[in-house]
Amino acid sequence: MIAAVAALSFAIWLYLLLGRGRFWVMREEPVPPPPTGAAPSVAAIVPARNEAAVVGRAIGSLAAQRYPGRLSIVLVDDSSEDGTAALARAAAPGDALSVIPARSLPAGWTGKMWAVAEGVRSAATSDYLLLTDADIAHPPDNLSGLVARARAGGYDLVSYMVRLRCVSAAEQALIPAFVFFFFLLYPPKWIADPARAEAGAAGGCILIRREALERIGGIERIRAEVIDDCALARAVKQSGGKVWLGLNCDAWSIREYGTFAEIGRMISRTAFTQLGYSGWMLLGTLAGLAVTYLAPPALTLTLPAGPARAMAAAAWLIMTAIYLPAVRYYRRPWFWAPLLPAITVFYLGATIWSAVTWWRGRGGMWKGRSAAPAR
């Protein structure tokens, strides 16, 4: 039995190394040159609810974009109580920014999706929509790069996984793994392949062609989704559109996660949603995480010399090798790479807590609201 577990762990990591689209290669793709002709118009939609700590820098970065076409910025203030709207206006003086209040949240919508829909409705004439969060700081050429990539590749949706803040002890321990796990679930090469069904996006920075959004039925199509970014990408791809996801190390999420508890809440908000709110899926996931991440070091350190220990050690070595690019991308010391099994224990606990909070009727809590569907 132990030998079978070691063999299975080794087989899993060999597959992840060779057979899952090289998801672990944390490398930015160069931005293509912009096509000739007039640049299309873009409306940046920023939903915001109590974002005083970050909104000024985010809106300021949008106002500073070096984009040759028409750019309008719409901040949708979702009942903020901390001066979010005033701080946003101060960061983008003049007529570059429109601030609109979100109307009352209708039944069946998540708060964020309703705010995004309000913003899309107010920007009815733009060719593209930049769906971005109130905690994203964009480099000056970010929009130009997104539009160039979309037009050159014929993509209906392009998305950047921005660089997440990695300063506090909790962030340094957990954030590289967050991006690693995300790309494991949504390999960028598979997403860009029209022949594959896989689709995904990173909600902090999504550029979508308006015609593609209208083709899927607008934001209403994903009105109740908790993992709305990937749901949007999936809907676009299912409609025959092309989707692209990649890295941009110069675009930053400036939201701080100072403690392990804060990151745990961020993970648990969507973890059980990812499993379809299924107890059986939860049990299967926990077993899979144990075999994949925990068994290799446990067996390596406890078994006597022999084939089983050799396979477990090989699995741990492969795990370390393919996690190392994520560690380096976040400029962390190399010794974090072999610690991925210990980091996984935290994610395992957050997944369990995600299920517990849903069973207690508090699933999907964010900004004071529960977005999870009723049981």
Please give the full DSSP string across 281-302, using - where no structure is assigned. HHHHHHHHHIIIIIHHHHHHHH
How confident is the model at residue 34, as a pLDDT? 83
Q: Are 89 and 77 in contact (CB under 8 A)?
A: no
Tokens coding 198: 């896989």
Q: What is the pLDDT of residue 375?
A: 54
pLDDT tens string for the chain (375 positions)?
899 999 999 999 999 999 999 999 999 999 998 888 889 999 999 999 999 999 999 999 999 999 999 999 999 998 888 899 999 999 987 788 999 998 988 998 988 999 999 999 998 789 999 999 999 999 999 999 999 999 999 999 999 999 999 999 999 999 999 999 999 999 999 999 999 999 999 989 999 999 999 999 999 999 999 899 999 999 999 999 999 999 999 999 999 998 999 999 999 988 888 888 999 999 999 999 999 999 999 999 999 999 999 999 999 999 999 999 999 999 999 999 999 999 999 999 999 999 998 898 776 656 665 565 655
And the tokens for 154? 């014929």
In angstroms and rounded to an integer, the radius of gyration of the C-alpha atoms of the chain is: 21
CB within 8 Å of 24: residues ≥ 6 apart: 16, 17, 180, 183, 184, 322, 323, 325, 326
Determine the pLDDT at residue 372.
58
pLDDT per residue as tens digits for the range 186-197: 999 999 999 999
Determine what percent of the chain falls in helix, strand and coil, rounding each to the nearest 5.
Answer: 50, 15, 35
For residue 358, the model assigns a pLDDT of: 87
Question: What is the DSSP secondary-structure string of 21-55?
Answer: TTTT---PPPPPPPPSSPPPPEEEEEEESS-TTTH
> How far apart are the C-alpha atoms of 176 and 164, rounded to whole Å?
9
pLDDT at residue 96 in the model: 85
Q: What are phi and psi of 76, to 5 degrees?
A: -100, 110
- Predicted local distance difference test score (pLDDT) of residue 351: 95
Q: Where in the chain is the domain with CATH 3.90.550.10?
A: 42-253
CA 370 from chain center: how many Å? 19
Coil, helix or strand at residue 239:
coil
Q: Classify domain 42-253 at the CATH topology level.
A: Spore Coat Polysaccharide Biosynthesis Protein SpsA; Chain A (3.90.550)
What distances in angstroms separate CA 350 from CA 45, 174, 255, 270, 302, one per listed residue? 31, 12, 19, 10, 27
Residues forming beta bridges with residue 136, ordered by sequence position = 253
Residue 80: predicted pLDDT: 87
